[in-house]
Amino acid sequence: MHLLRAYSALEERFSGALSVHGLSLKEVLLLMHLEREPSGRLTRVALAKRLNVSASTVTRMAQPLEKCCFVSRETDARDARLAFVVLTDAGKEAVTNTRATLQRLSSEVFRDRWTKEDISQLAELLGRLTAGHPGDIS
């Protein structure tokens, strides 16, 4: 219960802080997953697995991001049925800006409670929960 309550509180706090960028936490995570890919693109199904949502949810999430020019759609040259969500330059800039906000907020959330060693240990322990999971973003 402590873990779930902590997750809920952190998600609410981080989502509130990201609102200055006009993005939700899930949207930022979607953009970060694309940024980590060398090609800067993933299929909706791959994004769904990484975000632990359905492919239709990714489609709904990508539409406003596409309108804001943070992502674009690209079809596969060999298979027109296969579509990719592609990170744009504006999307890369959004990731840079939101990452700075997330890092600032992370330090505010944790610095008054734990030492650097505590935070490092927490990160390592939480990393074990998602080890080998495609949705792991460091």
What are the residues facing 87 on neighbouring strands?
71
Residue 73 domain-assigned (yes or no)? yes
pLDDT of residue 15: 85
How many domains does the chain divide into? 1
Q: Is 79 helix (H, G, I), strand (E, B) or coil?
A: coil
* Predicted confidence band of residue 77 (pLDDT cuts 50, 70, 90): confident
Residue 50 domain-assigned (yes or no)? yes
Residue 62 domain-assigned (yes or no)? yes
Residue 123 domain-assigned (yes or no)? no
Its domain, for residue 64, covers 40-114
The pLDDT of residue 4 is above 80: yes
Q: pLDDT for 16-28, tens place per residue?
A: 888 889 898 999 9
- The CATH number covering residue 60 comes to 1.10.10.10
DSSP per position, 18-62 = HGGGT--HHHHHHHHHHHHSTTSEEEHHHHHHHHTS-HHHHHHHH
| Among the listed residues 15, 11, 13, 2, the one whose alpha carbon sits nearest the alpha carbon of residue 108 | 13
Report the C-alpha gap between 109 and 87 in whole angstroms. 29
Residue 46 domain-assigned (yes or no)? yes
Residue 127 domain-assigned (yes or no)? no
Residue 65 domain-assigned (yes or no)? yes
* Predicted confidence band of residue 91 (pLDDT cuts 50, 70, 90): very high
Residue 13 domain-assigned (yes or no)? no
* Predicted confidence band of residue 137 (pLDDT cuts 50, 70, 90): low
